[in-house]
């Protein structure tokens, strides 16, 4: 029975956490571009916390760049959403366009990261 224990290497564990985070980001990114389908920001916060906590474990591995990539993507998207939020109050259409473009940019970054991680490649700086 002792031989049934599965030994998960730190690299495999980081990859699993990375996929969980990318999946949560993807759900948020896809629903952000679909009108009326927005999910709770809680999913994005869970993914961000995972990335912040596990980033230290990834130092010195090819996966470290993915943790940084996801963190930067969320922070930049958050800043861009906040900066453009007054457009919603003043003019509906420019706000909708701005948030649509930000959401598409965020979706692009998440898909790009997933593709590179699936190929075992780090993210460029």
Least confident of 10-14, 17-21, 61-65, 97-101: 10-14
pTM of the complete model beyond 0.85: no
Q: Is residue 49 part of a domain?
A: yes
Q: Is residue 123 part of a domain?
A: no
Q: Is residue 62 part of a domain?
A: yes
Contact 27, 43 (CB under 8 A): yes
pLDDT band at residue 118 using 50, 70 and 90 as cut-offs = very high
Q: Is residue 66 part of a domain?
A: yes
Q: Is residue 9 part of a domain?
A: yes
Q: Is residue 50 part of a domain?
A: yes
User: What residue numbers bound the domain in which 41 lies?
Assistant: 2-118
87 vs 92: which has the higher pLDDT: 87
Q: Is residue 124 part of a domain?
A: no
Q: What is the pLDDT of residue 1?
A: 47
Q: What is the mean pLDDT of residues 25-44?
A: 79
Q: Is residue 96 part of a domain?
A: yes
* Proportion of the chain in helix, strand, coil states, percent, rounded to 5: 80, 0, 20
Q: Tokens 């927005």 label which residue?
A: 38
The number of distinct structural domains making up the chain is 1
């Amino acid at each position: 029975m002792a031989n049934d224990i599965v030994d998960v290497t730190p690299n495999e564990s980081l990859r699993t956490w990375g996929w969980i985070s990318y999946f949560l980001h993807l759900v948020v990114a896809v629903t952000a571009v679909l009108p009326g389908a927005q999910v709770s920001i809680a999913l994005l916060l869970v993914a961000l916390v995972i990335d912040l906590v596990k980033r230290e474990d990834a130092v010195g591995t090819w996966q470290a760049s993915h943790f940084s990539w996801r963190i930067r993507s969320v922070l930049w998207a958050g800043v861009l959403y906040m900066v453009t939020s007054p457009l919603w109050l003043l003019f509906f259409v420019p706000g909708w366009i701005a948030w649509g473009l930000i959401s598409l940019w965020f979706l692009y970054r998440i898909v790009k990261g997933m593709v590179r991680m699936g190929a075992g490649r780090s993210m460029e700086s």
